[in-house]
Amino acid sequence: MDLSPPVQFDLHRRMVRIRVFEEAAGRLAEANKLPGFLHLYVGEEAVAAGVCAALNDDDHITSTHRGHGHLVAKGGDFNRMMAELMGKSTGMCKGKGGSMHISDLSLGMLGANGIVGAGSPIAVGAAFANKYRGRGQVAVAFFGDGATNIGAFHEAANMACALHLPIVFACENNEYGEFTPRSATMAITDIVDRAAGYGMPGVIIDGMDVVAVHEATLEAVARARAGGGPSLIEAKTYRFYNHHGIQNLGLKYRPDDEVAQWKERDPIFTFEDRMIENGTMTRDRVDEIWAGLRGEIEVAIKFAEDSPLPTPDQILVDVYTSMTGAAQ
């Protein structure tokens, strides 16, 4: 591990922030306190954290239906995020977006997305603008293994390569799309096999190892900033909970021992063990960090609960920049 302790702390903190936020959201959902769908990122923290720690605030990311993880990793504010999940007017999207559309333009987070694969073309647009302005910004498109089967991903990957844009395609290969295993929906095992078809380099990394993710991203981002064009990173990872929510409600679609094996490789706990072993971190410090963030999330929940609901007169606001002349 060549990373300096501050970088290690940063990676760790980003992961714990995600875990704490997601576990809290999951509990609230189980208590029927969150409306709508909730796709939790638990288990995959190393990917968002490792990638986003390689980015600046003015770099852009596009996300997926599983989007809070990405926004937290990019620095998202607990209070306004939790308020959004509750549909409150103080939420990141004033209650209009919810879990599937959470976003924060000020952090370059161009939105979770309810349409699988649809974020990638938007990331290409951000990358184009970044190149156009020439200030060295990059864009990252997050997407799942399942998303690589959809046309929008393909068009985005090809266009980014054709136009030689500063972009990183970051695939979270968790081996499932909803309730269907990857093997039923593609004849290849590794998403990275698709990179050559666009003419970009691709690399497989252990998505449970935040250091590996981070180092691969640093390289891809450096290439992009230097005008070297797009790259694809495939992170092998796993979601610890159900496709949405926490518990499996319908039929069982993943073998118990598969789930158990992946959980043993928890990206946060294994990283903590490594840091403690290396002397970068102590168990006490780890506990303190968790406690601190758990405290923050309680504050956020309280903030969200105490926040007002949006009022019906807000329905027609923000469809357009101005309401003049719009249909009713």
Partner 1 sequence: MSEVRKLTYGGAFNEAVRQAMEADENIFCAGEDIGAFGGVFGTYLGLQAKFGAHRVVDTPISEQAIVGLGIGAAVTGLRPIVDLMFMDFICVAFDQIVNQAAKLKYMFGGEATMPLTITTGGGAGLSAAAQHSQSLEAILCHIPGLKVVYPSNPYDMKGLMTACIRENNPTIMVKHKRLLGMSAHVPEENYEIPLGKANIMRAGTDVTVIAYGRMANETLVAAEKLAADGIECEVIDPRTLQPLDTDSIVESARKTHKVLVVHEAVKFGGLGAEIASQIHELAFDYLDAPVARIGAPFSPVPFSPALEQHYLPDAASIEAGIRNLVQRS
Ligand X SMILES: Cc1ncc(C[n+]2csc(CCOP(=O)(O)OP(=O)(O)O)c2C)c(N)n1
Minimal distance in Å, beta carbon 165 to partner 1? 9
Residues 177-236 that bind ligand X (CB under 6 A): 177-178
Interface mask toward its own copies for 162-201; x: CB under 8 A? x-x-------------------xxxxx----xxxxxxxx-
CB 147 within 8 A of CB 140: no
DSSP-assigned beta bridge partners for residue 231: 168
Minimal distance in Å, beta carbon 320 to ligand X? 26
CB 220 within 8 A of CB 51: no
Structure tokens at 266: 């928890």
Q: Cα(149)–Cα(171) distance, rounded to whole angstroms?
A: 12
Interface mask toward Mg ion for 163-182; x: CB under 5 A? -----------x-x------
Residues 18-47 that bind partner 1 (CB under 8 A): 35-37
Interface mask toward ligand X for 255-294; x: CB under 6 A? ----------------------------------------
Among the listed residues 237, 242, 265, the one whose alpha carbon sits nearest the alpha carbon of residue 144: 237
Of 2-10, 175-183, 222-230, 257-265: span binding partner 1 (CB under 8 A): 175-183
Minimal distance in Å, beta carbon 145 to ligand X? 4
Biggest distance spanned by C-alpha atoms of the chain: 65
251 binds partner 1 (CB under 8 A): yes
Q: Which does 66 bind (CB under 5 to 8 A by kind): ligand X, partner 1, Mg ion, none?
A: ligand X
Three-state secondary structure of 140-170: EEEEECHHHHCHHHHHHHHHHHHCCCCEEEE
CB 268 within 8 A of CB 240: no
22 binds ligand X (CB under 6 A): no
